[in-house]
Amino acid sequence: MKRLKSLLMAVGLSVAVAVPNVALAAETCMVTDPTDTPLNVRAAPGNKGKVIYTIDNGIIVTIVKYSKNKKWAYVRDADTREDIGWVYREYLSCSPSLKNR
C-alpha cells in the first residue's frame, strides 16, 4: 500500500511539472485592446512571434494556457472552441460573468 501511495504521488508530481503553463481553470475574457485597433494574434508568445491573425475588440475568448512569464495567453474562440493563438494578456478583460453570457 505504501508503494502504491508513493507511485501515485510521483505520477501526480510528474503531471504537475510536465504541464506548468496550463490554466488551472479556463478563464473567459473579452478582447479590450486600448489602442482600439484589432489585436494581433501570434504563432508564438512574445513580440517576435509571427502575427498570424487579428481579432477585434469585444470578441469573447477562453484562455487555454499562459506563457512562462504570464504576459501572453494562448486563446480559443469561446463560441466555436477553435484555437486562435497567442495574444498579449493585458489586452484581455476577464470576468466570471462572461462565461454565462
Q: What is the pTM of this model?
A: 0.72
Q: What is the pLDDT of residues 39-54, one digit of tens each?
A: 999 999 999 999 999 9
Picking from 73, 78, 79, 64, the residue whose alpha carbon sits closest to that of residue 91 is 73
DSSP 8-class letter at 100: T
Picking from 28, 44, 29, 47, the residue whose alpha carbon sits closest to that of residue 85 is 44
Count of CB atoms situated within 10 Å of the CB of 61: 25
Query: What pLDDT band is residue 99 in, cutting at 50, 70 and 90?
Result: low
